[in-house]
A and B are shown apart, each in its own frame.
Chain A
Amino acid sequence: MAYSDKVVDHFENPRNVGSLDKGEASVGTGLVGAPACGDVMRLQIKVSPEGIIEDAKFKTFGCGSAIASSSLVTEWVKGKTLDQAETIKNTDIAQHLALPPVKIHCSVLAEDAIKAAVADYRAKHGDPTIAPADKAAASQGSKP
């Protein structure tokens, strides 16, 4: 199975790899997936006082498609409001990267990572309407 050019590009030149300080109030962290399933994504967003995502970082344990999906969403969420970021759909990611059917779960995970990061940020800011995203595995922010 050959990878699409876009997956190869994101895999070989990943955008925004790294970490933000999860303890900071302006940072939301989403950690989704499970090591036993072969993919774990951590997406972090830094939100401006105006509610705009001004920075995003990721680290991913997974196949090339998982790494590419998370790299792509760090680019996509930047400059968006939280509400706008939450409208990013796995199908958009899968389509953009031309993921084959067996790799659709990578794009689903990337969508989950966005939702988890946004939920973490909102939880920090006491937004009572937001429950942690269903599939969010564990917020690293809550770990020692």
Chain B
Amino acid sequence: MPSPAKKPASNEIKRPIYLDYQATTPCDPRVVEAMLPYFTEKFGNPHSRSHFYGWEAEEATENAREQIAHLIGADAKDVIFTSGATESNNLALKGVASFYKDRKDHVITLATEHKCVLDTCRHLEMEGFRVTYLPVGKNGLVDLDTLKAAIDDKTVLVSIMAVHNEIGVIQPLAEIGKLCRAKGVFFHTDAAQATGKIPLDVEAMNIDLLSISGHKVYGPKGIGALYVRKKPRVRVNPLINGGGQERGMRSGTLPTPLCVGLGEACAIAAKEMPAEAKRILALRNKFLKSVTGRLPEVYLNGDLDQRVPGNLNLSFAYVEGEGLMMGIKEVAVSSGSACTSASLEPSYVLRALGVGDELAHTSLRIGFGRQTTEAEVNFAADLLVERVSKLREMSPLWEMAQQGIDIKSVQWAEH
């Protein structure tokens, strides 16, 4: 939509700068390149055992499996393809819970997990399982003693995400894994936001199940993977029955091009992660310093140090998040405020961190990634500083704060 406030003096509609890499990432062109032959000439069904077309496709999916396994320090045979991290999380939780239900009935997770884990846990509760939703600290991290105390002799599974989608915090995976292994409890981690962003090693971290998403790691949408440990063996009941593909855990013909894409994305990540993480971290730090150096009352949500390089979650006090996003529409980010989602509640994640609703409504998630340039970061920081200042001038709350009125002392009519 054309607008007088638009910066570039150009008649064509300019695409906003993309700073929402936790929502999704663009497919790396090298990934697309690797996928292309498998749509057309190499179109075979990887499960066709009797001819060249099938063998060719199978070789491609097995190579992709190796590439994925390599990135997480796993054996390729323990990796199965799914449609994405939502399915992987569903399979891990429901599959494990239902397989072991005669002996164990208890699952532990965090109050801040992704909706696909929380909703799956609600489903398990309806089926009679007990679920403990652990609180997190103000920094967003789980307390290991709290976790330890929550494990009982009927606990079958602990599911804790590796990197948080909203606040980017990295949970202490190795410590959680060690604790779970010692207690004889399976450890599942949703690594959708962690894969290719931080080093992962299912052996060193004692991870038994690990969920991967294709489109969060510069791969295609519609593909994911679940690592399921074989030694010591983790059993899962399948959600999808059929021809018994993926060792019976996930029937259905593998989408060869998507598998190849995910594999290539993982191979690129394995090669480039150290340099990329360093570059993105520098950009993020520059952005943060640039914004907080010029704007007062900006608060970071989630731990700064235990955090994935490409994420910031900031509250811009006295400026509502959705209004702010509209004010910086030259940049694509997402908001922790209510109005963007169907519900009018602010983020349950920020609430779990103890962030007040009034501050949660002012938060933005800003994500940096592979294509982010320094010029984009500078532009976005300048724009944010300018527009937050402008919107604060329009905010009655900012005016009250400047006059020394405590917003909390006012009796508001909640509506």
Contacts and interface: CB of A to CB of B under 8 A. Distances in A.
Interface string A30-46: 01111111111110000
Q: Which 10 A-B pairs have the closest CB atoms?
A: A35-B358, A34-B412, A36-B357, A63-B322, A42-B396, A64-B326, A38-B361, A59-B396, A137-B413, A61-B395
Interface string B332-346: 000001110010101
Interface in A89-116: 102-103, 105, 109
Contacts of A102: 339, 342, 344
A19 interface: yes
Interface residues on B, range: 35 or more
Given A60-B395, A138-B410, A37 B323 contact: no
B338 A38 contact: yes
A9 to B, nearest CB: 9
Interface string A123-144: 0000000000001111010011
A7 B398 CA distance: 23
B399 A35 contact: no
A56 interface: no
A37 B398 CA distance: 16
A38 B344 contact: yes
Given A38-B320, A63-B320, A66-B323, A33 B394 contact: no
Contact of B415 (A17, A34, A61, A63): A34
Given A17-B393, A42-B396, A105 B3 contact: no
B414 A59 contact: no
A87 B21 CA distance: 47
Interface of B: 1, 3-5, 318-323, 326-327, 337-339, 342, 344, 346, 356-358, 361, 393-400, 405, 407, 410-415
Contacts, number: 114
Contacts of B414: 34, 36-37
Given A34-B412, A35-B412, A17 B339 contact: no
Contacts of B319: 61
A87 B323 CA distance: 28
Contacts of A144: 405
Given A61-B397, A67-B394, A136-B413, A37 B344 contact: yes
Interface of A: 2-3, 5, 8, 11-14, 17, 19, 31-42, 59-64, 66-67, 102-103, 105, 109, 135-138, 140, 143-144
Contact of A12 (B3, B344, B411): B3
Given A37-B344, A143-B405, A11 B326 contact: yes
Nearest to A60: B394
A67 B412 contact: no
B230 to A, nearest CB: 46
Contacts of A42: 396
A36 B396 contact: no
B283 to A, nearest CB: 28
Nearest to B318: A61
Contact of A31 (B321, B327, B338, B396): B396
Contacts of B346: 38
Contacts of A39: 320
Nearest to B5: A12
A67 B361 CA distance: 15
Contact of A67 (B1, B323, B342, B357): B323
A42 B410 CA distance: 14
A34 B3 CA distance: 30
Which of A36, A136, A144 has the largest number of chain B CB atoms within 10 A?
Answer: A36
Contacts of B407: 35
Nearest to B361: A38
B376 to A, nearest CB: 22
A42 B407 CA distance: 14
Nearest to A14: B394
Contacts of A37: 338, 344, 357, 361, 414-415
20 contacts: A8-B1, A19-B399, A35-B397, A35-B407, A36-B356, A36-B357, A36-B358, A36-B414, A38-B337, A39-B320, A40-B396, A60-B394, A61-B397, A62-B320, A63-B337, A105-B415, A135-B415, A136-B413, A137-B413, A138-B413
